[in-house]
Amino acid sequence: MDLPIFKTIEEKRKAYDYRQASSFEDALNTLQQVSAEGKEKVFFRGLAEGSWKIFSFAQREWITKELHHRFSSFDEYISSFLEYTKATESIRLNHICKVVADPSIFSVLQHYGAPTPFVDWTSDYKVALYFATQSSNGMCTGYETNSFVSVYLITLGKGASTPSNDLTSFADIIKQHRANMNAIITENGNIPGSNYTDATFFGIWKKIQPWMEEAQDEEFMQISNPRSDLQCGAFVYTPESEKPLNEIFLGNKITDDDCTTSGTSLLPPEDPSITYFKPTLPLNDGGNSAARQYYPKIKCLDIHKSVAPQIQKYLRDKKINSSSLGLDSDNWGTATYKSFLENHHLRNNLVKKGANYA
């Protein structure tokens, strides 16, 4: 199955906070100005085709290879690959990761060629420009959106402290709930999810949508790796199997809190029979039914492909290339992922034949 795309500029205008740059100077000035102004930290993502929507690599695999025929759910697909990587790549993970925890494992897999539910962003607009233009030959074919490369911009919020933007750092979520963790441990002992280590397990946070970034003061959020360090990398985690980010960062106005917000993402009700701590964003007055999350529209700067040669020269002069970004190193994650799919296929065949496969 093909991925959905934007066919018209009007579609992109509705999906993003949109503008175009028709000259090299316009594009560069816009990105430099955004990087320099304001207190909020800005992150960038470059895509080589203006028609492409923002999906994670795992979403692209799930959709285009129709993996729902092989896995019972997107959750099972992601969780199974994570556990397979832990079992088969422990030596490599211990060598590359500063701290081996689920967020850092996803980070490493993402940067070394394997599909994950993380979407790459960078704090350096030049890195985003590289990924947007590295393969461009300036040719404009197909839909009108294919006449452009795209650079996307996103900013972080702080949950209730930023009511118009609930894209919150996972490290901050853990910090905000440290008191809750301590209280739960004091009252109930060390139940699953109540300690700091358990809070980083994928099974605990897989239904929320946090921002993943290196945090030196938080041990289990030291998630950068040699390649992401070179790319000034950070991530948006998305639990969605088929929704692109523009369908999550909706930027709609609502009336219940009188602020410009985006679409609402609801956490599923917890199983009342299970007691565990789950880091979430602030809950509604209704209790544990849901955490309302608001995401402003992503900003999109479309740059005409005729400008790509000038951008490529600018990046060469700045020594931004595949080597400086660590892209020449081994994509071992690709081989791990291929092995995982083969192993899963073999296991399913053995189960169908009634073999006792452990």
Domain total of the chain: 1
pLDDT band for position 194 (cuts 50, 70, 90)? low
Q: What is the mean pLDDT of residues 305-329?
A: 94
* Top-confidence residue, 168 or 133: 133
Q: 156 in helix, strand or coil?
A: coil
In a domain, 243, yes or no: yes
pLDDT at residue 191 in the model: 62
pLDDT at 264: 33
pLDDT at 234: 94
Question: CA distances (Å), 310 to each of 8, 87, 130, 321, in order?
Answer: 25, 46, 12, 15
Asked if the structure places residue 306 within a domain, the reply is yes
State the Cα–Cα distance between residues 45 and 120, nearest whole angstrom. 7
Q: Is 216 exposed, middle or buried (0-12, 13-18, 19+ CB in 10 A)?
A: exposed
What is the pLDDT at residue 287? 33
Q: What percent of the chain has pLDDT over 90?
A: 56
Q: Are strands 233-237 and 299-304 parallel, antiparallel or unpaired?
A: unpaired
Task: Write down the pLDDT at residue 181.
Answer: 67
Cα–Cα distance, 169 to 176 (Å, whole number)? 11
Q: Is residue 54 situated within a structural domain?
A: yes
Look at residue 357 and tell me if it is in a domain: no
Give the pLDDT confidence of 227-260 residue by residue, as tens digits: 999 999 999 999 999 999 999 998 764 433 433 3
Mean pLDDT over each residue of the chain, to the nearest integer: 82
Residue 131: inside a domain, yes or no? yes
Please state, in angstroms and rounded to a whole number, the distance separating the CA atoms of residues 199 and 190: 12
Residue 238's domain spans which residues?
A: 9-155+212-249+297-350
* Residue 282 in domain: no
Residue 233 lies in a domain: yes
DSSP letter for each residue of 244-272? -GGGTS---B-SSSSSB---EE-PPPP-T
Q: Which residue has the higher pLDDT, 88 or 215?
A: 88
Residue 265 lies in a domain: no
Res 192: pLDDT: 56
Of 123-127, 314-318, 330-334, minimum mean pLDDT range: 330-334
Buried b (16+ CB within 10 A) or exposed e, 331-342: ebbeebbeebbe
